[in-house]
Amino acid sequence: MEEDLAKGVRLPRQLYLRVPRSMRQMQTTEPIFTHAFVRHVSRSLANCELTHLPRQPFRLALAAQQHQAYVDALRATGINVTVLPEEPELPDAVFVEDMAVMLDELIVVCRPGRVSRQPEIERILPALANVRQLSRIAAPGTLDGGDVLMIGTTLFVGLSERTNGKGLRQLESIVLRHGYRVVPVTIDGCLHLKTALTQVAPHVILANPHWVDPVTFADLDVLPVPTSEPWGANTLWINGVLLTTASAPRTTELLRSRGLNARPLEISELEKAEAGLTCLSLLYRGPRVEL
């Protein structure tokens, strides 16, 4: 197993360190969601922002087909999915996760780190306003939702090319009064924090140690991805199901060997845009909070 770990990092099979009691209690149950927003794939997807991958030809019809399969997978877990209309002139608009951080108490509206993506905010605001009270990240702060991993009442926030310290501090000032804490995480070599790691079970994260230092998550079990599948760390754990990407079969088998209900999903055309399973939806719990 050790020779299979990313960049040769050796971690013990069980890396349980002391976890605050309140945090562990929050993690003993799986994430339960009732609703989600997704958005149809844009016909201009080929013009999407790219940071770490070379630009490739896109098969738009296949991308739309794979996106529909993703929506079907969400609905199969019991989630009520609202499909927002296509934004033809906004190639990255399908990646709705980056627009907001969905909390039970409120929604933090992000300010994307790429200027080309900032118009997406105004297009999704009406839908978000029907769900929760909104708070917004303001310039010069930037925050992409893909850089925020919520585990219990802790928000791990990746400091990336898309999220800066000012955005992180604004997020912290907004959520502190609701009982959340914010933990900054340095990442390197990948787009977002959730490109490098995601939660796959209570107390367990799946990570690429080459892109993020597992020491930051010493309170949790860290399960490294196989070296051959560096992008496999992005999974979506919802309502008793762990969605994995079909492009990382060894990762899927690794998770199944740990007794997890891992189900692969083909998103190869969307992965050409540096997409992962998490970035295609905004998940939340309903009903609407009355203000």
Q: Would you please indicate which residues are annotated as catalytic (active-site) residues?
A: 192, 279
**Close Cβ partners of 103 (under 8 Å, ≥ 6 residues apart):** 132, 150, 175, 178, 180
Rounded CA-CA distance 159/162 in Å is 8
Rounded CA-CA distance 132/119 in Å is 21
Nearest in space to 199 (alpha carbons), one of 38, 73, 76, 27: 27
Please compute, for residue 286, the number of CA atoms within 13 A of its CA located in the half-sphere on the CB side: 15
How many CB atoms lie under 10 A from the CB of residue 238? Answer: 22
Nearest in space to 235 (alpha carbons), one of 218, 219, 220, 247: 247
